[in-house]
Structure 1
């Protein structure tokens, strides 16, 4: 495939999308005024009009190629199945019982911290942030409904926990992409990452604890739950932790929840089918956003926008520390433009490898930086799959969730500090490399 020529103007459609989507909300004070699909469609029309050298049919082919990318279609499948599982689980009482169980044994002020920690555990076990958020979002909605904790705050905690594992899990596609493009070992990259992001995770838990410390004041002490109704969630979480493919996990969750609901008399067979259909319908807009955004990104790439970003950032590199900042800047810029951390790592990875080789940056270090900053950006952009997913389940604006995505924000800070202070370091003792957590 021929590399497209660098072209700054190719990024204009993306700027238009951001201005329409976020700018209109800031101006009007209502982020629902401008439908996301309308903003995306206007941006796509501009992208189709930019490159006059290519015929219209070629540009339409690029649009459909991007929208039909395997990662995009997989995301759509996950969204639809997640919507169906959420609808069926809610219909058979799983959400209410799960929340009531948590409220029975946890003070209200610990519920959000608990969701964050559970999200960290699930995501690092199953290797997917998207699968984690769609599994926990319905529970988060229930927590918000039965406490005085804001829905956006709860969703932000879930996204934060999901991005922890997305960055660290050895089976995460972002981790695998970072390791492979940088030619290092998985365990070495994990060690480098762990020392950097663990303080961010601890501080995040503390912040959530402080923010929700007085939540128990509004709680009702009478919580009824049926442990049988909780089994579908336990099944989903168990298989997720076991590393089962997220598609199998969600399909199994739908069947399991449906079976329990039928046995308990919560709904009939046709009502179960209706719930599945309602769940699909609830996620249709989100699926269309993913497809159109994928098409827009491919048009921008084909017109030279991504190549322009890569060249601009790489020109600033002139030292080891500058190389590390360059790698961070490249993957950050690409992730903001593609809204997909896996694609951004695959795109920026080869150039990051060149920079690493030229300025003596270890592979484990460059892989860690790639993954940290890609995951950080992915967890704070309101048009990213993770935030769109929880916003869809919670029926709130994705922009409202961003301020509460504390862990991704702190991860970026931790990454910058790690570059500034050469943290973590390792030394050689008795012929073996030993990692140190202090600079």
Structure 2
């Protein structure tokens, strides 16, 4: 029997709770109180606290700006180009919004309705329109300074976000350029109808730009997000786009949207503490060293481990 979105019917929090239970069972030589102490010490790591606070602030930022700001970006860019180039530009729109918001899923949710409207107006195949949004969203999320995965990776490895951005830029941008070229040729001989451009306000883009510029310049991520939240709040409330009550409600929804990510960070820290106690990390690294003895081999080994974990989770 087919289950719609079956993979997502099981929360990743539940999966990690099961993994935590297994880790507890494996640590047979210590009692439960000792296990709790190990987990508590792992959760008290400054990197974990930092990640959770950033997750919550990123949730507030997305909640404050809501859908209208992302739509303003989309309709502004679409208004600049002929309908024949709508699909490549749709990729760029998704990439920019995801880069600014730090969430691929959120971007897909926001931009897909616009993509469907574009498909209806221009006659481009709907799978192509939606697939373009997904590709752009993944690209932007990969480079975003406020993406949960970026924050977790940088804090976990102790590297600067700027350095991570530069490294990812060299990998992701060539792929994005090839994608744009491919989209252009895929739609080259397809006659397109007229685009239906809805009203937009460029002022709403300002918070996104401030966050992007602050991130690229290497400012503290807390400061960058705070500036984005304050500027977004001033714009949304000052322009009468939202009432005070809805504003507070959206902030709550934004932080609630980060609940699962925050819980995963906490659970992973607990699991990591128990794995380290049981010698799991040392055994894993020892295996990698035996199989991949050179520097490039080690990089390949770590890459394979990360890829396996990505598939598993």
TM-score, with structure 1 as normaliser: 0.55
- The answer for the alignment partner of 1:155 in structure 2 is 137
- Report if the CA contact (8 A) 2:139-2:172 is conserved: no
- The answer for the alignment partner of 1:97 in structure 2 is 72
Distance 1:234 1:198, change over 3 A: closer
Taking the TM superposition and a 5 Å limit, the aligned residue runs for 1:32-111 are: 32-90=8-66, 93-106=68-81, 107-111=85-89
Deviation at 1:264, TM superposition (A): 1.0
Taking the TM superposition and a 5 Å limit, the aligned residue runs for 1:308-347 are: 308-316=283-291, 322-332=293-303, 335=306
2: distance between equivalents of 1:61 and 1:174? 21
- Report if the CA contact (8 A) 1:111-1:143 is conserved: no
Q: Tell me, which stretches of 5 or more residues in structure 1 are unaligned? A: 1-25, 123-131, 164-171, 179-185, 340-379, 384-439
Deviation beyond 6 Å, 4+ runs, structure 1: 26-29, 172-176
2: distance between equivalents of 1:216 and 1:283? 42
2: distance between equivalents of 1:118 and 1:29? 27
Tell me the SS of whatever aligns to 1:224.
coil
Deviation at 1:52, TM superposition (A): 1.2
- The answer for the alignment partner of 1:371 in structure 2 is none
1: distance between equivalents of 2:66 and 2:3? 36
- Report if the CA contact (8 A) 1:67-1:294 is conserved: yes
**Does 1:114 pair with 2:96?**
no
Deviation at 1:336, TM superposition (A): 6.1
Superposition CA RMSD, Å = 3.9
> What do the CA deviations read for 1:16-67 (whole angstroms, capped 9, x no partner)?
xxxxxxxxxx999710232211111111111101121122212112222323
Taking the TM superposition and a 5 Å limit, the aligned residue runs for 1:183-262 are: 198=170, 201-211=173-183, 213-214=186-187, 217=192, 220-262=195-237
Alignment partner for residue 244 of structure 2, among 249, 269, 273?
269
1: distance between equivalents of 2:62 and 2:312? 21
Q: Tell me, which stretches of 5 or more residues in structure 2 are unaligned? A: 116-128, 146-153
- The answer for the alignment partner of 1:14 in structure 2 is none
Alignment partner for residue 292 of structure 1, among 264, 267, 281?
267
2: distance between equivalents of 1:154 and 1:103? 15
Paired residues, number: 284
Tell me the SS of whatever aligns to 2:274.
helix
Higher relative contact order, chain-length normalized (CA < 8 Å, sep 6+): 2
- Report if the CA contact (8 A) 1:116-1:160 is conserved: no
Alignment partner for residue 143 of structure 1, among 111, 115, 118?
111
- Report if the CA contact (8 A) 2:52-2:262 is conserved: yes
2: distance between equivalents of 1:203 and 1:336? 18
Deviation at 1:117, TM superposition (A): 7.0
Greater Cα offset, 247-256 or 62-71: 62-71
Greater Cα offset, 151-160 or 53-62: 151-160
- The answer for the alignment partner of 2:120 in structure 1 is none
- Report if the CA contact (8 A) 1:262-1:269 is conserved: yes
